[in-house]
Amino acid sequence: MNLYKTVIKSIKLSCLVLFVGMASCEDDYLEIDAYGSPLLNNFYKTPTDAEQGLNAAYSPLREMYGVENFLAANSNDLIFGDIGTDDILKGGARVNDGPQLFEKETYTLQTSNNSVTAIWAVNYKGILYANLVLQKVPDIEFEDTSKKEEILAEAHFLRAYYYFDLVNSFGGVPLITEPQEPGSYAVPRATKEQIYELIEEDLKVAINVLPSRFDRGNASFGHADKGAALGLMMRVSLYQNKMNQVKTYGEQFLLIPGYALEPDFSKIFSPEGEWGTGSVFEINFSTNTSKMGTLIGRMLTPRSKGGIGFGQIKEDLRNEYEINDPRLDASFYNVPGGYGTEWYNRKYAWAPYSEYQKPNVGGAGNSDMNIRAIRLADVYLMYAEAIYDTDPLTAIEYVNKVRTRARGNELPTVVPDLPLTLSGQALLDAIYHERRVEFAGEGYRYHDLIRTGRAEAILGPLGFQADKNEIMPIPFDQVQLSQGVLDQNSY
């Protein structure tokens, strides 16, 4: 698994600008020949170098949704993740449009699948960049030592984020905590438990060090903060069924001042909704520069409207909504004609189906919509799920916060509050329902069904096979590069 050869073809760590407002640099800084051994002894010398190295560690987050890597933008949970579930149809122009997505939809993933390869490559690129920060920055002298600690804590957050995507995609993967030396690329797989242990340790560092974004100011938007670290730790714990841990970190999150659900659900996925009080972590994009936008808008927009038409909404999901739930119209829209269900995801849409305008700089794929990676409603519902059997009244309280916001100014009979007498499986089912309609089209359904043990019953008729399709195959090229060190999943 030659990560340097794959990732550092032309390493300009200081020039991988990720978010609007982050540090910029000169284009000719730190040129290194492609495919050579990176010489970093003239970099990571100053606090500015450290910040630019951190920017590089953020860049794979953007790449996974960005216009510059078409395959990666097909491979994130927003596009690839829920295809094949009862929520999302592949879509496109025809049944075989997007063969890598067709394999996901029909549960026939091959080890050569391009999306599988992209998930592996982009996440390990992020891990490499995070490891470089964690290895090099401790030796840099800072006048502001708290800034140094925050840079390192953000690198821990990022490494946890990338490994979390990998462990959910592949199970146990190679555990790499420092940049590899030439000749040491063939690393065997660690267990899933070992990967989760590293993720949790990284997030504990981030939680303990990082301040809240409400104490940092708008200039920090796009950076991880305490709320993002706690929110991700809750999700990591939830996916391991560590409900007491979800509860513990949820209680810590709820003590952070500044968060509140936006009163209007339809405004969350709009320009004015970016980094609102109900946003925990977003991946920033801009269209004022070519290649700084996201491809997601184009991927999800109908072909007849200049898009590609993937990720169409199935009837089963639309039928899940209660009568008059405003989230139904706020989440989906219909464009007749073409292949598929003809229903599309409004959360990442162009005008006139949202307030985001079609890009006019950098091509049709260069959309400026931020990716909402963690929302406050998710924190509330994860917390409710963790305590539904031990403290049902509090669980109901937090579910009802989400439902109250959902109905907005409608009568209380629209998306009515859950009754306080609800408990047991009925309450848990109500939480599952709420997650499905609140986060429809946001890439959570597949993982929710797997972690709760419902995948075989619900997805079995669609082709899902238990003890196989919970994870994906290891990319064929990585197995080959490892010279037999990496063992394949059940594919």
Tens of pLDDT along 446-459?
Answer: 999 999 999 999 99
Query: What gap in Å lies between CA 42 and CA 31, rounded to an integer?
Result: 11
Least confident of 130-134, 148-152, 356-360, 439-443: 356-360
Identify the CATH assignment for 1-85+97-209 out of 1.25.40.390, 3.30.2020.30, 3.30.565.10, 3.40.50.150.
1.25.40.390
CATH architecture of 212-284+372-451: Alpha Horseshoe (1.25)
pTM of the model: 0.91
User: What backbone torsions phi and psi does residue 407 show, to the nearest 5 degrees?
Assistant: -80, -20
What average pLDDT does the segment 80-89 reach?
A: 97
Asked whether the beta carbons of 109 and 473 are under 8 A apart, the reply is yes
Q: Is the pLDDT of residue 26 over 60?
A: no
Nearest to 116 by CA among 479, 485, 473, 482: 473
Domain 1-85+97-209 and domain 212-284+372-451 have a common topology: yes
In the chain, the percentage of residues whose pLDDT exceeds 90 is 83
Domain residue spans of the chain: 1-85+97-209, 212-284+372-451, 296-369
Instruction: Give dist(CA 132, CA 275) in Å, integer.
Output: 29
Phi-psi region of 21 (alpha: psi -120 to 50; beta: other; left: phi over 0): left
pLDDT tens-digit map of 94-141: 888 999 999 999 999 999 999 999 999 999 999 999 999 999 999 999
| Mean pLDDT, rounded, for 394-423 | 97
Contact 125, 6 (CB under 8 A): yes
The kind and range of the H/E element at 438 are helix 424-438
pLDDT, mean of residues 387-413: 98
Mean local confidence (pLDDT), 183-200: 92
How many C-beta neighbours within 10 Å does residue 277 have?
13
Q: Which pLDDT score is estimated for 117?
A: 97
Residues contacting residue 243 through CB under 8 Å, at least 6 positions apart: 237, 385, 386, 387
DSSP string covering 190-238? PPHHHHHHHHHHHHHHHHHHPPPHHHH-GGGTTS--HHHHHHHHHHHHH
